[in-house]
Chains A and B, each alone.
Chain A
Amino acid sequence: MKKQIMDLRVTLSERVGAQCTLLKAKPVEGHLPECKPGQFAQLRVDDSGTFLRRPISIHDVEGDEISFLVQEVGKGTHWLCSLKEGDILNVVLPLGNGFTIKTQGTPLLIGGGVGVAPLLFLGKRLKEQGVKPTFLLGARTKAQLVRLDAFREVGEVLITTEDGSEGERGFVTQHSQLSMFNGRQCSIVYTCGPMPMMKAVAKMAREKGIECEASLENRMACGVGACLCCVEELADGHNHCVCTDGPVFSTAELKIDN
């Protein structure tokens, strides 16, 4: 899959939830290259206060239209969240490996915070392959749950919030329905979100004997495997590039599960 640098034109910029913006965009010229769920793009931020590109997951692809779900946490994401319809956004994509698409059994997709971003695209592709994904989405509070309607169009949606303002109260790994998922009918757990959540999910999956893949968000500079800034030390004791060997890893390879 050839990586490309391209200008996109923003087709939609919509505030969703308390801190996120949903951006949709199309290539100014030509077509979007083929992208896989779990892959990401490096977004150019044209603000004098930042220097590097910002890695953002591919949230959805429909034809030549790509979506990103961006949470405002600093200058770069503030600039991205301030983009307006018609603005130009320069991206490098598609980057990284992506999730393994498994077509047997029921997949469980567990996301926390803005970590839900790559799971929509993943869920859609799984559904196209004829499997019925279940989403388990967690947040601190109701206002941080985003894109629920979009997720509900793709599969069943289970929710936890830490304050109980929506769905069940607690963490994702405490959801009552999880007892229904075991190694027999659940083929794989995919997770993306804060590290403590992914750790808990990895542990749960291991205890249930279910395969688990997690998407990491290490800080990046190049995004293409050249600078070695983004490394994660895996269970094999070696440093691996998250931008090329990841961002998706089997949790069995990660130290979080050990």
Chain B
Amino acid sequence: MASLSVKIGALELRNPVMTASGTFGYGLEFQDFVDLSRLGGIVVKGTTLHPREGNPYPRMAETASGMLNCVGLQNKGVDYFCKDIYPKVKDLPTNVIVNVSGSTIDDYVETARRIGELESIPAIELNISCPNVRQGGMAFGVTCEGASSVVRAVRKAYPKTLIVKLSPNVTDIAEIARAVEAEGADSVSLINTLMGMAIDAEKRKRILSIGTGGLSGPAVKPVALRMVYQVARAVKIPVIGLGGIMTATDAIEFLLAGATAIEVGTANFIDPSVTMKVVEGIEAYLERHGFQSVSDIIGALEE
């Protein structure tokens, strides 16, 4: 059987299939549907230094082949995570990665530092790309200076594997990727959601409570693929690809575009067991094409 394992920084994944932050809870919500020991890793909900209520309801609008959300990083804060969630997830049979967000650089640093003290959390994904919060979030992720400054500060405080999650709401994502690589990021993941809007024509109103939201699902896949392709050619660190992955074939396309691993997000809402099918499908593909290892197909596009 082909080898599926990949490495992201110091992190060993048994296979390249992970789950995307904000779409898989803390993993516990999906235990009835998924054998977590068959996942490369799970990226848990966005965690901030202080508790956040998130944005008011309505936070979701369905769109053609996707959805918009403006959840706005609702979470109970890093202390709650350490005290109440960590004991429940620390022995899960997969890599548990915490998605870290903040409004200020100090917030990011302090949150990362505290997560860094948790023995069973081998990596963080730094979210500098949330489009649904007023302060911080995406503001850091849309300029090279902003991205560099957060990553530089967090890098000093966080010794383990540091993944930086990039925003697609930029002119040149490769430039941002190079900037965070230069500050010592071990990996970049992309894409976060694309900023969008939904309008109810009958009511002549914007549907989401804050007016705009982040688009996810198959609708964003072509954009995500293009960006992963560009970034994989621009940096040396491993790239984690995501955005609209619904099937194993989608995942393989991201690997071919240059991603070392992938994350499955919105698809979990449609089929809570989809990640298992993605793992099996990648296995079957490698077998069918006679590849020994998943690394044989990473960035392996024919000209």
Q: Which residues of A contact B (CB under 8 A)?
A: 2-5, 44, 50-53, 92, 218-233, 238-239, 244
| Residues A239 and B272 in contact, CB atoms below 8 Å apart | no
Judge if B292 is at the interface, Cβ distance under 8 Å: no
Given A225-B25, A229-B60, CB of A3 within 8 Å of CB of B67 = no
| Residues A233 and B56 in contact, CB atoms below 8 Å apart | yes
| Residues A224 and B63 in contact, CB atoms below 8 Å apart | no
Q: How far is the CA of A202 from the CA of B32 in the complex (A)?
A: 35
Given A221-B69, A227-B23, CB of A50 within 8 Å of CB of B57 = no
Q: Could you list 19 further interchain pairs (A-B, Cβ under 8 angstroms) beyond the known A52-B67, A229-B60, A239-B54?
A: A2-B32, A3-B272, A5-B271, A5-B272, A50-B62, A51-B62, A51-B66, A53-B269, A221-B60, A221-B266, A222-B268, A222-B269, A226-B24, A227-B22, A227-B71, A228-B45, A229-B69, A230-B60, A244-B29
Instruction: Give every chain B residue within 8 A of A233 (Cβ-Cβ).
Output: 56-57
Instruction: Give every chain A residue within 8 A of B136 (Cβ-Cβ).
Output: none
| Residues A52 and B269 in contact, CB atoms below 8 Å apart | yes
26 pairs from A and B in contact (CB 8 Å cutoff) = A2-B32, A3-B32, A5-B271, A5-B272, A51-B63, A51-B217, A52-B62, A52-B270, A53-B270, A219-B58, A220-B60, A221-B69, A222-B29, A226-B24, A226-B25, A227-B22, A227-B71, A228-B54, A228-B71, A228-B74, A229-B59, A229-B60, A231-B54, A231-B57, A231-B74, A244-B29
B59, B64, B71, most chain A CB atoms within 10 A? B59
Judge if B104 is at the interface, Cβ distance under 8 Å: no
Instruction: Give every chain A residue within 8 A of B62 (Cβ-Cβ).
Output: 50-52
Q: Which residues of B contact A (CB under 8 A)?
A: 22-25, 29-30, 32-33, 45, 53-54, 56-60, 62-67, 69, 71, 74, 217, 266, 268-273
Q: How far is the CA of A231 from the CA of B57 in the complex (A)?
A: 6
CB distance from B109 to the nearest CB of A (A): 25
| Residues B53 and A221 in contact, CB atoms below 8 Å apart | no
**Interface SS majority for chain B:** loop
Q: How far is the CA of A224 from the CA of B25 in the complex (A)?
A: 9
Residue of B nearest to A222 (CB): B269
Residue of A nearest to B52 (CB): A239
Residue of A nearest to B33 (CB): A5
Q: How far is the CA of A244 from the CA of B32 in the complex (A)?
A: 14
Q: How far is the CA of A24 from the CA of B197 in the complex (A)?
A: 37
Instruction: Give every chain B residue within 8 A of A219 (Cβ-Cβ).
Output: 58, 60
Residue of B nearest to A76 (CB): B62
Q: How far is the CA of A89 from the CA of B116 in the complex (A)?
A: 45
**Interface SS majority for chain A:** loop
Residue of A nearest to B26 (CB): A226
Q: How far is the CA of A224 from the CA of B34 in the complex (A)?
A: 13
Given A2-B32, A228-B74, A239-B74, CB of A221 within 8 Å of CB of B24 = no
| Residues A226 and B270 in contact, CB atoms below 8 Å apart | no
CB distance from B33 to the nearest CB of A (A): 6
Given A51-B65, A221-B67, CB of A227 within 8 Å of CB of B53 = no
| Residues A224 and B65 in contact, CB atoms below 8 Å apart | no
| Residues B268 and A226 in contact, CB atoms below 8 Å apart | yes
Q: How far is the CA of A92 from the CA of B217 in the complex (A)?
A: 20
Instruction: Give every chain A residue within 8 A of B270 (Cβ-Cβ).
Output: 44, 51-53
Residue of B nearest to A238 (CB): B53
Q: How far is the CA of A3 from the CA of B25 in the complex (A)?
A: 16
Instruction: Give every chain B residue within 8 A of A229 (Cβ-Cβ).
Output: 59-60, 69, 71
When A and B form their complex, which 5 residue pairs have the shortest distance between CB atoms, in order from nearest? Answer: A226-B25, A229-B60, A3-B32, A222-B269, A226-B29
B23, B57, B67, most chain A CB atoms within 10 A? B57
Residue of B nearest to A218 (CB): B57
Q: How far is the CA of A3 from the CA of B273 in the complex (A)?
A: 11
Q: How far is the CA of A218 from the CA of B29 in the complex (A)?
A: 19
CB distance from A195 to the nearest CB of B (A): 12
B32, B67, B268, most chain A CB atoms within 10 A? B32
CB distance from A222 to the nearest CB of B (A): 4
CB distance from A94 to the nearest CB of B (A): 11
CB distance from B104 to the nearest CB of A (A): 23
Instruction: Give every chain B residue within 8 A of A222 (Cβ-Cβ).
Output: 23, 29, 268-269, 272
CB distance from B168 to the nearest CB of A (A): 19
| Residues A226 and B54 in contact, CB atoms below 8 Å apart | no
CB distance from B250 to the nearest CB of A (A): 15
Checking A2, A92, A238 against B272 with a beta-carbon cut-off of 8 angstroms, the contacting residue is A92
Instruction: Give every chain B residue within 8 A of A232 (Cβ-Cβ).
Output: 57
Instruction: Give every chain B residue within 8 A of A224 (Cβ-Cβ).
Output: 25, 29-30, 272
Given A50-B62, A231-B57, A233-B56, CB of A221 within 8 Å of CB of B269 = yes
CB distance from A233 to the nearest CB of B (A): 7
A44, A220, A226, A232, most chain B CB atoms within 10 A? A226
Residue of B nearest to A243 (CB): B29
